[in-house]
């Protein structure tokens, strides 16, 4: 009985199969959109921020290791300079990322 009901339903709606396929079939993919370009630019900017943050962390760990030995001894000028440079290298990509996100 189900087969006959299905057959009569198809006869009543001959275009039903086409409309279902049209709804289910994905739309053709367009070339890279502005949203995708912005997303990839944001991803690259975020990668630069992460990389710079790792450099800051490494410089900080070197300073902490220095203080672990003798907390009264001054850190080396080179160690402080590396840390300051790493912080600056983090600042620039963060600002660039913020500009991208605000667009």
What are the residues whose beta carbons fall under 8 Å from the beta carbon of 60, sequence distance 6 or more?
Answer: 83
What are the residues whose beta carbons fall under 8 Å from the beta carbon of 92, sequence distance 6 or more?
Answer: 52
Identify the H or E element spanning 3: helix 2-12
34-44: pLDDT as tens digits: 667 767 888 89
Per the model's pLDDT, the better-predicted residue between 68 and 27 turns out to be 68
Q: Is the pLDDT of residue 2 over 60?
A: no
Domains of the chain, residue spans: 34-102
54-93: pLDDT as tens digits: 999 999 998 888 777 777 788 888 989 999 999 999 998 8
Q: Is the pLDDT of residue 28 over 60?
A: no
Per-residue model confidence (pLDDT) at position 61: 92
Among the listed residues 53, 59, 56, 58, the one whose alpha carbon sits nearest the alpha carbon of residue 79: 59
């Amino acid at each position: 009985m189900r087969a006959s009901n299905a057959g009569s339903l198809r006869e009543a709606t001959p275009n039903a199969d086409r409309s279902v396929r049209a709804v289910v079939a994905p739309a053709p993919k367009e070339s890279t959109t502005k949203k995708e370009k912005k997303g990839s630019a944001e991803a690259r900017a975020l990668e630069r921020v992460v990389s710079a943050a790792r450099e800051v962390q490494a410089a900080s760990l070197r300073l902490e290791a220095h203080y672990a030995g003798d907390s009264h001894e001054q850190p080396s000028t080179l160690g402080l300079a590396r840390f300051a440079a790493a912080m600056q290298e983090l600042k620039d990509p963060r600002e660039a990322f913020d500009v991208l996100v605000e667009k």
